[in-house]
Amino acid sequence: MTTSVRVREVGPRDGLQAEAPLSPRDRIELVDQLSRCGFGTIEAVSFVSEKAVPAMAGAADVIAGIERVGGVQYFALVPNVRGAAAAMDAAVDGLTVTVSASETYSQKNTRRSVEDSIEEVSAIRAEVGDGVWIDAVISCAFGSPYEGDIAPSAVADLAARLRDCGASALTMADTTGMATPRRVRDVVEETGVDVGLHLHETRGTALVNAYAAIELGIQAFDTSVGGLGGSPFAAGAGGNLATEDLVHLLDDLGIESGVDLDRLLEVSAWLSQRLGRPLPSRVASAGPRSRLAPSEA
């Protein structure tokens, strides 16, 4: 089993995108609080249509307003060359781009074919030049709610093409919760372990999939504070793997993530208050296993 894992916090982007919009000021506060938790990377914003995703409006203001903390890379999701140009103008540290392994999902979610999405990655690489880190996230990598299972070899072929088009790294996303430990193994056997995983809780399998992936040697995960998230467009999407729940597991397994769970739980409590409801994370609700019942006087 691996001894350390990189956790990319995607709460400010994937976590909030389907929520009633928070103000840019609150989103800056969220990123700044997360910056003090020990993440190496925070996906802070997305440069998408403000009309389509109002919760992500004002991305440039958010990036301009945050306090950059040394050692933290601030990423933006970009859907196209125009978004990539805007993200570079805002001086983000890296980009995530999404390409689907499912043709139908691609058409429904982005009104673009898989082929056109691959082309867009090439165009984004050409736009931003060689020095910028681009993480290509493959959605529906473990199955599609439209086509069902997708051959792991097809996912690996797509990953290889995306590397050829300029992707610096690959992340396999379980967009609608179709991954299982077996599907994770099947995909990782084809792609190799040098990929990240982006897991969702649609069927309650995010943590068991992460555990199975760690056993295989996977060392990078996307998670969302509080377990918020899920595509506003994807049928049947559930929240992201909660950062608290993964870090709680990693801490118990003795796997280093650099993330301070106590600080993170404070951020989670703050965010819960801002959103006015409990967040999905079970560890956020119950507290870590080390938290004993209050003694009665």
Residues that bind a second copy (CB under 8 A): 143, 145-148, 177-178, 180-183, 201-205, 207-208, 210-212, 235-236, 238, 242, 245, 248-249, 252-254, 281-283, 286-290, 292-293
* Smallest gap from residue 178 Cβ to a second copy (A): 5
* Smallest gap from residue 172 Cβ to a second copy (A): 16
Task: Give the dihedral sign, CA 83/86/88/93.
Answer: negative
For a second copy, the closer of residues 107 and 168 by Cβ is: 107
* Smallest gap from residue 286 Cβ to a second copy (A): 5
Q: How far apart are CA 175 and CA 63, in angstroms?
A: 26
* Smallest gap from residue 139 Cβ to a second copy (A): 14
* Smallest gap from residue 288 Cβ to a second copy (A): 8
Kind of pairing between the strands at 94-100 and 220-223: unpaired
Task: Give the dihedral sign, CA 126/190/246/17.
Answer: positive
For a second copy, the closer of residues 22 and 184 by Cβ is: 184
For a second copy, the closer of residues 116 and 215 by Cβ is: 215
* Smallest gap from residue 294 Cβ to a second copy (A): 8
Task: Evaluate whether 240 touches 227 at the Cβ level (below 8 Å).
Answer: yes
The label of the residue with tokens 């933006």 reads 76
For a second copy, the closer of residues 50 and 189 by Cβ is: 189
Measured in residues, the chain has a length of 297
Task: Evaluate whether 215 touches 2 at the Cβ level (below 8 Å).
Answer: no
Q: What b/e readout covers 262-272, taking b as 16+ CB neighbours within 10 angstroms?
A: eebbebbeebb
For a second copy, the closer of residues 25 and 182 by Cβ is: 182
148 phi and psi, to 5 degrees? 80, -145
What residues have CB less than 8 Å from 67, skipping those under 6 apart? 32, 35
Nearest to 155 by CA among 134, 172, 167, 136: 172
For a second copy, the closer of residues 56 and 214 by Cβ is: 214
